[in-house]
Amino acid sequence: MSLALTALSEQRKAARFAHGTQRALPKDVAALSFADNDYLGLSREPRVAEAAIRAIRDSGTGARAARHLAGSCPEHARLEKNLAAWKGTEAALVFASGYQTPLGVIPSLVGTKDTVLLERNAHACLFDGARLSTARLRLFTRNDANSLVEVLTSSQKLNPEGRILIIAESLHSMDGDFVDLQSLVALKNRFGAWLLLDEAHASGVMGPAGAGWAAEQRLSPEVDVHLGTLGKALGSSGGFVAARALVIDHFLNEARTFLFGTAPAPAAMAAAGQALEIVRSTEGSNLREKLQANIRLFSAGQADPKKGPIQTKMFGSNDRTLQARDSLRAAGMEVAAIRPPTVPDKTARLRISLSARHSAPEISRLLEGLTQLRDA
């Protein structure tokens, strides 16, 4: 490593320590996890694991290359067909990771003559996809119709010929609130914009057959592009996009992370496919009911309860947040400490992820641990 690179690394590390944002991979994770996004507990479901094992036997451990080169494995095509049916669209396309999906999708939709309207605190992958597109990036405040109207009006006035793409998360990954989808749809129709809805955290959790927040609100046909992940409620890995067949064909030809990236492993696709089958079944409905019961149990008496599986405990201070995480870890519970730049300055928090796999005694144990933090 050159001296200049070493010096830069040391300077940046010192700055991170000074601001309480230095990170390291945890070495001793507590056995009881409230830190992951396995909302229905399907990542360890035996039938999901068996589906992955069968796919390895049938199709190998890897996809070997991009699908334009090596072709599709049966697991890719089967999953895409079922994802489209689940989302109520004509077609779907899988990507190697949830993060790569918007990095390919957004730049293939808009360019330098267009505008992306993005929520201020949107996930990093959405910001990165918007920046890669080279489109003009404007921010609006989540669930604030006036803020969105303001940027829609100014964007249309500034560039009347350009396309406008509105991007929002249905269930916010860090704040845990649901988007006002009816307002988004009304405004995108009023201004002739497109709407990309990131359903990463709501798919599997909300809506009929767990199809997501748009399905819950009966607005799925109004969403132009549905973005999703296979690595949360579906218990596997990868990402996907669902839309009209012609739009999916456009992504297949122009989304660079699809074109030039090795396809997701057949085992991951088979695992997600088996999980999706469970999610869409009566068993999936029962798992969602169990998750909702856990959410109600946790939320009772909370100052800021959320209706979804992502709950937050705000501390503001990075140091206090880390101390709270470490205290819970010492008590055998893993809870994520979220600090800037993941969230805005002075909004450091514990992010608590509830799952259908959690038992009532485990949630009571967490509540007791949080009470002890408050009383300390």
Is 173 a catalytic site residue? Answer: yes
Q: Select which of 169, 175, 199, 216 is catalytic.
A: 169
- From the candidates 37, 59, 155, 220, which is the catalytic residue? 37
| Residues in contact with 147: Cβ distance below 8 Å, sequence separation at least 6, in sequence order | 140, 141
Q: Of 87, 172, 232, 306, which one is the catalytic site residue? A: 232
Average pLDDT of the residues of the chain:
96
Class of the domain covering 46-279: alpha beta
Q: Residues 199, 212: contact at Cβ < 8 Å?
A: yes
Select from 3.90.1150.10, 3.40.50.1820, 3.40.190.10, 3.40.50.300 the CATH code of 27-44+282-375: 3.90.1150.10
Cα angle 83-104-84, degrees, rounded to a multiple of 5: 10
Q: What per-residue confidence (pLDDT) applies to 277?
A: 98
**Distance (Å) of CA 274 to CA 3, 37, 53, 132, 239:** 51, 18, 12, 34, 16
Count Cα atoms within 13 angstroms, Cβ side, for 15: 7
Condensed to tens digits (0 to 9), the pLDDT of residues 266-311 reads: 999 999 999 999 999 999 999 999 999 999 999 997 888 899 999 9
Q: How confident is the model at residue 26 (pLDDT cuts 50, 70, 90)?
A: confident
Instruction: Name the phi and psi angles at 203, rounded to 5.
Output: -65, 130
* Confidence at residue 347, expressed as pLDDT on a 0 to 100 scale: 95
Q: What is the dihedral of CA 127, 131, 135, 139, to 10 degrees?
A: 30
Q: What is the pLDDT of residues 123-176, one digit of tens each?
A: 999 999 999 999 999 999 999 999 999 999 999 999 999 999 999 999 999 999
Contact 185, 212 (CB under 8 A): no
Catalytic residue among 38, 114, 198, 199: 198
Active site residue 327: no
Residue extents of the structural domains in the chain: 27-44+282-375, 46-279
| Maximum alpha-carbon separation in the chain | 61
13 is catalytic: no
Which of 76, 201, 226, 358 is labelled catalytic?
201
Active-site annotation holds for 201: yes
| Residue 123 appears among annotated catalytic residues | yes
- Please identify which of the residues 123, 172, 188, 358 carries the catalytic annotation: 123
Which of 97, 108, 133, 173 is the catalytic position?
Answer: 173
* 50 carries an active-site annotation: no
Burial level of 356, CB count in 10 A (0-12/13-18/19+)?
buried
